[in-house]
Amino acid sequence: DAGVIQSPRHEVTEMGQEVTLRCKPISGHDYLFWYRQTMMRGLELLIYFNNNVPIDDSGMPEDRFSAKMPNASFSTLKIQPSEPRDSAVYFCASSPEAAPETQYFGPGTRLLVL
């Protein structure tokens, strides 16, 4: 089975531009998580969904960040407008209903905002 798929793998953009990160979770998984990883702050949970419904978005840094999950096989994380401090690796992870803490991570999107 395919694992969690993220696209793009790398993104370079200029400050002020809109950035959209995409994630396809493992089929059958009911939980989807978005994380951000930086050297300074480590791994931070941004938001997570259960059955396509956002459950906890307290980690979303500010209104410039938004996430959607229109169906069970697709989610997006959007940053508008982007800023240099948003530069990080963004991970998507999914997990099954029976073991929500056993998370399967995608390879990540490395974002650089100039």
Partner 1 sequence: GNSVTQMEGPVTLSEEAFLTINCTYTATGYPSLFWYVQYPGEGLQLLLKATKADDKGSNKGFEATYRKETTSFHLEKGSVQVSDSAVYFCALSDQRGSQGNLIFGKGTKLSVKP
Q: What residue ranges bind partner 1 (CB under 8 A)? A: 4, 31, 33, 42-43, 45, 48, 50, 55-56, 91, 93, 95, 100-108
Least distance to partner 1, CB of residue 39, Å: 10
Least distance to partner 1, CB of residue 41, Å: 9
Nearer of residues 74 and 81 to partner 1, judged by Cβ: 74
Report CA dihedral (48, 92, 71, 50) to the nearest 10 degrees. -30
Which residues have a Cβ under 8 Å from the Cβ of 105 and sit 6 or more positions away?
Answer: 4, 35, 91, 92, 93
Report CA dihedral (40, 23, 76, 48) to the nearest 10 degrees. -70
Least distance to partner 1, CB of residue 43, Å: 5
